[in-house]
Structure 1
């Protein structure tokens, strides 16, 4: 290979010929005859057809624009470089690589990360979820939630109905029912760790306990399937998801801020809602309540749509009812 040699002590370049004999590279020119081990010579990455400077172990340099000859002399060091060079020379392949990389990134963040988060949340120890749930009410208070003003008799009746729902579950649960005033808006929330919050506005809108009981059954369905925790984990950052997957409780702490925002502003996925609906309808049947109570509760909330538009904390903002869900409850009630 024809090249230029520079000794590293001066800027003078000497025309030389570079040849390789096994593991030995020989550099010869006028008054020059140097030998180096091939693995001692640093060969830079090839970038298009730009000239390259080979770094010698004694500080000298070899300059050449003959990239094909360089790759032939040092084949063991250029596997990745050759691939990069081929991509540079073939823009179609390079563009395809960019598209594939972009698509893989999108799939990673839209499918892989949520899936890992969901699986990690489902396997999270209940003790850790309880720890998270204990911190959420404090944040909800900062968002306007206050102590309930419902009559004690009303709360006692609903607590008894809630206990009856729990007694019908396949496993013993220590879920807790709490009442709170959140302005006048009707709402019910399922908190991580096993807490159902029913607002005064919901009880006052329904007027009949049976409708509130139906909504409580739905919220118990969310608790049984850990929907709140899974929903928040699915939308968490990569760091939080990996922390959960590795059992690092710092990931649980990081989710705390996201739970109240999810409960107030977002909604469960369609699959989670269907799962909670199906659970509630069966639970109502097993406790002697009619599934049609749930359909009527949803219809009552739809009729309250004027107030729903005035506040983001209305039950419909986090549990969007559809006619399909109402019809499903009616159909389940017809078999009751």
Structure 2
């Protein structure tokens, strides 16, 4: 006779019972009606040393045996044989190896699999959806990050004319530029999903202060900045950043839990470091090619990077959303700005 708790599958109440083992069946004693089960109509779950033995019956009910000696008797009576996996994991070094393997799979999926999924979603996102997303984002940014521009209409028209001259003949989607004031963002430019480039007043004033002659340095440095942002739009970088944020944040919450907002955010920050390095290099390369096609030396991109690096030394943007930090790449630290400047200068060409 084996003492156990019986659960009828309809409630969580435990019913104390006795199990009587016979040649090919068990009798459950202690219930209102005596119950019989053949060995073929029951299944003993994998046993654990400090957990009850769980005997499942074909009608959805089960019982739990707690006494260690009776657990052994039950296994012996039912002829229970541990599987190969049970025998393998019973050795501590095998269990450790399995744990390391599981962690490796989770990390591989997190740092490579999920970003690849985000890239796949971005690559197949319809243009209409991207444009709609950008339209929905702009009012939010106008309330939280941007203010109405204080730059003159003439200067804004000049910037629009620069964009019209340098943008590709057949862009992936319509591209336009708007100017906004942003103390938080400082001198910078943002490529939004849907083809919108936002240039800050602070960036316009920085370049205008350095180059009073609009037909000289101002025009060409602004062209370099816009070319870089066009590269982000053509490469869908802001859209990728949004998908990365959404997927990685959800994965962080599911894997780590909600016990610490900081802990959940750390994996996203780590992935962002490599992601930023890659997209910056690609956007720089696109800008260099676009400038050369328009007979503008990429050295102006290097000039813009130098001035913006200097201007942003005391500008902290850590609290901004990651996709914004991706889009406002001139202040990114990966790859190092000095390396980006050197590459742009190496591509310098004579100007007409």
What's the TM-score, normalizing by structure 2?
0.69
Residue equivalent to 2:30: none
Distance 1:145 1:42 in 2: 65
- Where do 1:158-307 residues align within 5 Å? 158-166=159-167, 168-171=168-171, 173-183=173-183, 185-207=186-208, 208-237=218-247, 269-305=276-312
Runs of at least 5 residues in structure 2 that lack an aligned partner in the other structure: 7-14, 28-34, 209-217, 252-268, 321-327
3-state DSSP of counterpart to 1:137 = helix
Runs of at least 5 residues in structure 1 that lack an aligned partner in the other structure: 20-24, 29-33, 242-261
- Please say if residues 302 and 341 of structure 2, whose CA atoms lie closer than 8 Å, have aligned partners that are also in contact: yes
Give yes or no for the alignment of 1:128 onto 2:129.
Answer: yes
- Please say if residues 308 and 331 of structure 2, whose CA atoms lie closer than 8 Å, have aligned partners that are also in contact: no
- Please say if residues 26 and 35 of structure 1, whose CA atoms lie closer than 8 Å, have aligned partners that are also in contact: yes
- Please say if residues 203 and 209 of structure 1, whose CA atoms lie closer than 8 Å, have aligned partners that are also in contact: no
Residue equivalent to 1:109: 110
Distance 1:53 1:218 in 2: 64
Distance 1:143 1:163 in 2: 29
Residue equivalent to 1:156: 157
CA shift at 1:187, angstroms?
Answer: 0.9
Query: Larger Cα Rg: Structure 1 or Structure 2?
Result: 1
Distance 1:275 1:10 in 2: 69
Distance 1:225 1:11 in 2: 68
- Please say if residues 178 and 198 of structure 2, whose CA atoms lie closer than 8 Å, have aligned partners that are also in contact: yes
- Please say if residues 179 and 199 of structure 2, whose CA atoms lie closer than 8 Å, have aligned partners that are also in contact: yes
What is the aligned counterpart of 1:309 among 300, 306, 314?
Answer: 314
Residue equivalent to 2:120: 119
* Residue 169 to residue 275, structure 1, CA distance change in 2 (3 Å): farther
Render the CA deviation track for 1:29-88: whole Å, top value 9, x for unaligned.
xxxxx99643213424322498857567899989552466356x356xx64xx633542x
Deviates more, 1:270-279 or 1:100-109: 100-109
